[in-house]
Chains A and B, each alone.
Chain A
Amino acid sequence: MAQTPPKNESQVETQKQSFGSRMVGTLLRRQEASIFVVAIILLVYFQASNAAFLSQGNLRNLGQFIAATAIIAVGLVMVMVLGEIDLSVGQTFAFAPIVMWIAYEQLLLVLPLAVIVGLLATAAIGLVNGTIRVYFGVPSFVVTLGMFFLLSGVNVTLVGGFPKTAPEASAIKSALGAYPYSGIIWCVVIVAFMHILLNHTRWGIHTFATGGNFTGARESGIKVDKIRVWNFALCSTLAGFAGILEAMRIDSIDPLAGGANTMFLAISAAVIGGTPLAGGVGTILGAFIGTLVLSVLQNGFTLQGVSAFTFNIILGVAVLVVMVLSVYIGRIRKGRKVT
């Protein structure tokens, strides 16, 4: 190759890598890619073993299940990229529809306003989580564990211990979960929005930077406190929105909805999708595909009559394997480091 001016040097270098090695590199780099392959294999497997799997009715169920978990998981990614965690999302999930119900039934607000009040209340929860984390220096695990118990009690207290019926049918209600496909439509829109936010805006880059090198981010002038507090708020708000969608869908305001199970499932989905808790790394699309995999597994097993306990075993193994693999792949990548 003839001598090129220095300006083009880096381009030439890139092109010299073969397509194959770039593909391998991408697979190693992008955990979404491997989890996506798993998702496809599972889909094929369950369809082969049970023709009802890809039936319209079952796809609808699947979509409804995916929607709520994926919206929560995607919010968690923002917090997990920071190296933080929010254990209270399952309770926030139940809290939003309860506040909405109070605003609607007792304060007699119109439904859209009531929904906004519910979402603002969850945003406030996130702001409290973030503020205690950032300005009081309490680890987020502890802060949100406290919030988890606090909200569990508050939720039950607010509705006097019993589920309430959701607001009566309306176009708004249909759009916010009652129409069978509205959940998955919202989910896709939110995933797309959050993917763009995390990967194609300054906010996202600053989130990665804050999680990846906190001191460095601060030295670069990034407003790390603002980034952290508002990502907690975003995470809570998304969990609350998922809760409202779900309440409208099942037509009930249940103080025991969500909870620890939902929270752990959403965290697992994010982890399996390629967002470890270490901070600095994370993917929105991965969290979505992770949710897809877990939902397909659970749904497929249910169709086959496999028990929920088996699902738990598989979920546990999956999380462990993924974490071991990601540490291992991390080592391989470090091994390739050119020094």
Chain B
Amino acid sequence: MTEHEVLRAENIAKGFGSVTALRDVSLRLEKGEVLGLIGDNGAGKSTLIKTITGFHRPDEGRLLLDGEETVLKSVSHAQSLGIQTVYQDLALVDDLSVYHNMFLNAEIVRKPFPFLNGRAMKEKTRQYLADIGVKIPSIDTEVAMLSGGQRQAIAVARAVYSDAKILLMDEPLAAMGAKEGAMILDLVQRLKDEGNVSIILIAHNYAHVFEVCDRVNVLQHGRITYDKNTGDTSVEELTELMVSEYRKARAGGEEE
């Protein structure tokens, strides 16, 4: 299925002062593919996502979208190119209602007037949440009143229903119960079956990765150190890979 590369990152480096989060990351994403991205805490997964979404400017390296080199000027620039993100911190505004958050920066207005169309946004919000199967007491309540899983559901729904070509999901299941987590995974599976969107999914639970991902990449020491189709590897192999890393580090024999 190597037909079309929607995204390619080449030699991306990004540091924050003295901290080097990404050293030399190269990664590719094909059309309709779900790529699992795993790595230790602090490995730089979120930083990589935020670089692809236009939030961070890479210090070095380049991004290619549909084979064309692209410098992302801002998050809204990336959005206009079809890149949507579920951030690890969810990017919700606590003081705003559920439906305002659902349409944050994609608000529906009463054209040709610049006024918000609250009714349309509420209707669609209800529809999206029902579609996923997530229950939220009232879409008029402020997001601050919701549980962690409910908040995450809103962040996921917002990205998924925004007509994305590339969907970046940074631990979208972190706060989910088993049932809600399964719902989100089903949703990802559905998107995959439709084949219009390519997804990078960050997860710490390898079972989730194997459930929906076509391919898995491991990010370590600011580099992608492992790249295999999920069919060619296993939960055991990945676990072994990550833990052996830890053992080596504990033995103090780590070479840079």
Contact of A220 with B96 in the complex, beta carbons under 8 Å: no
Chain B residues near A11 (CB-CB < 8 A): 126
Q: Assuming the A-B contacts A205-B104, A336-B145, A337-B144, are A219 and B93 also in contact, with contact meaning beta carbons closer than 8 angstroms in the complex?
A: no
Chain B residues near A223 (CB-CB < 8 A): 74, 76
1/0 contact string of B114-158 vs chain A (CB within 8 Å)? 111000000000110110010111111000111110000000000
A335 → chain B closest CB, angstroms: 11
Contact of B105 with A222 in the complex, beta carbons under 8 Å: yes
Most buried by A among B53, B89, B91, B100: B91
Contact of B115 with A201 in the complex, beta carbons under 8 Å: yes
Contact of A216 with B137 in the complex, beta carbons under 8 Å: no
Q: Assuming the A-B contacts A201-B114, A338-B145, are A208 and B93 also in contact, with contact meaning beta carbons closer than 8 angstroms in the complex?
A: yes
A281 to B96, CA, bound (A): 9
Other-chain contact of B137, A6, A206, A281, A338 (Cβ < 8 Å): A338
Other-chain contact of B85, A9, A219, A222 (Cβ < 8 Å): A219
Q: Assuming the A-B contacts A10-B126, A14-B138, A221-B74, are A196 and B115 also in contact, with contact meaning beta carbons closer than 8 angstroms in the complex?
A: yes
Contact of B55 with A213 in the complex, beta carbons under 8 Å: no
Q: Which residue of B lies closest to A29 (CB)?
A: B142
Other-chain contact of B95, A215, A280, A334 (Cβ < 8 Å): A280
A88 → chain B closest CB, angstroms: 27
Q: Which residue of B lies closest to A196 (CB)?
A: B115
Chain B residues near A5 (CB-CB < 8 A): 130
Q: Which residue of A lies closest to B77 (CB)?
A: A221
B108 → chain A closest CB, angstroms: 10
Chain B residues near A206 (CB-CB < 8 A): 105
Chain A residues near B78 (CB-CB < 8 A): 221
In which size bucket is the chain B interface? 35 or more
B182 adjacent to chain A (CB < 8 Å): no
A218 adjacent to chain B (CB < 8 Å): yes
Q: Assuming the A-B contacts A206-B105, A208-B96, A213-B92, are A10 and B55 also in contact, with contact meaning beta carbons closer than 8 angstroms in the complex?
A: no
A333 to B95, CA, bound (A): 12
B94 adjacent to chain A (CB < 8 Å): yes
Chain A residues near B147 (CB-CB < 8 A): 338-339
Q: Which residue of A lies closest to B145 (CB)?
A: A337
Q: Which residue of A lies closest to B125 (CB)?
A: A10
B109 adjacent to chain A (CB < 8 Å): yes
Chain A residues near B189 (CB-CB < 8 A): none
Chain A residues near B133 (CB-CB < 8 A): 6
A277 → chain B closest CB, angstroms: 14
Chain B residues near A338 (CB-CB < 8 A): 137, 145-147
Q: Assuming the A-B contacts A202-B114, A205-B116, are A221 and B105 also in contact, with contact meaning beta carbons closer than 8 angstroms in the complex?
A: yes
Contact of B105 with A216 in the complex, beta carbons under 8 Å: no
A67 adjacent to chain B (CB < 8 Å): no
Contact of B96 with A200 in the complex, beta carbons under 8 Å: no
Contact of B135 with A7 in the complex, beta carbons under 8 Å: no
Chain B residues near A213 (CB-CB < 8 A): 91-94
A215 to B53, CA, bound (A): 14
Contact of A212 with B105 in the complex, beta carbons under 8 Å: no
1/0 contact string of A1-39 vs chain B (CB within 8 Å)? 000011101110110000000000000000000000000
Q: Which residue of B lies closest to A203 (CB)?
A: B114
Q: A300-339: which residues lie under 8 A (CB-CB) from chain B?
A: 333-334, 336-339
Other-chain contact of A221, B75, B94, B135, B148 (Cβ < 8 Å): B75
A67 → chain B closest CB, angstroms: 26
Q: Which residue of A lies closest to B138 (CB)?
A: A14
1/0 contact string of A217-255 vs chain B (CB within 8 Å)? 111111100000000000000000000000000000000
Q: Which residue of A lies closest to B96 (CB)?
A: A208
Chain A residues near B105 (CB-CB < 8 A): 206, 209, 220-222
Other-chain contact of A281, B95, B100, B126, B127 (Cβ < 8 Å): B95
Other-chain contact of A205, B96, B129, B145 (Cβ < 8 Å): B96
A22 → chain B closest CB, angstroms: 10
Q: Which residue of A lies closest to B100 (CB)?
A: A205
Most buried by B among A196, A212, A336: A212
B214 adjacent to chain A (CB < 8 Å): no
Contact of A10 with B94 in the complex, beta carbons under 8 Å: no
18 A-B residue pairs with CB within 8 Å: A6-B133, A7-B127, A9-B130, A11-B126, A14-B138, A196-B115, A205-B96, A205-B104, A219-B55, A219-B87, A220-B75, A221-B54, A221-B76, A221-B78, A222-B105, A280-B94, A338-B145, A339-B147
Q: Which B residues lie at the A interface, using CB under 8 A?
A: 50, 53-55, 74-76, 78-79, 85, 87, 89-96, 100, 104-105, 107, 109, 114-116, 126-127, 129-130, 133, 135-140, 144-148
Q: Which A residues lie at the B interface, using CB under 8 A?
A: 5-7, 9-11, 13-14, 196, 200-202, 205-206, 208-209, 212-213, 215-223, 280-281, 333-334, 336-339
Taking A200-B115, A208-B93 as known contacts, 15 extra A-B pairs with beta carbons closer than 8 A to each other, sorted by chain A number, are: A9-B135, A10-B126, A10-B129, A10-B135, A14-B140, A196-B115, A205-B100, A209-B104, A216-B93, A217-B91, A219-B75, A219-B85, A221-B54, A280-B94, A338-B137
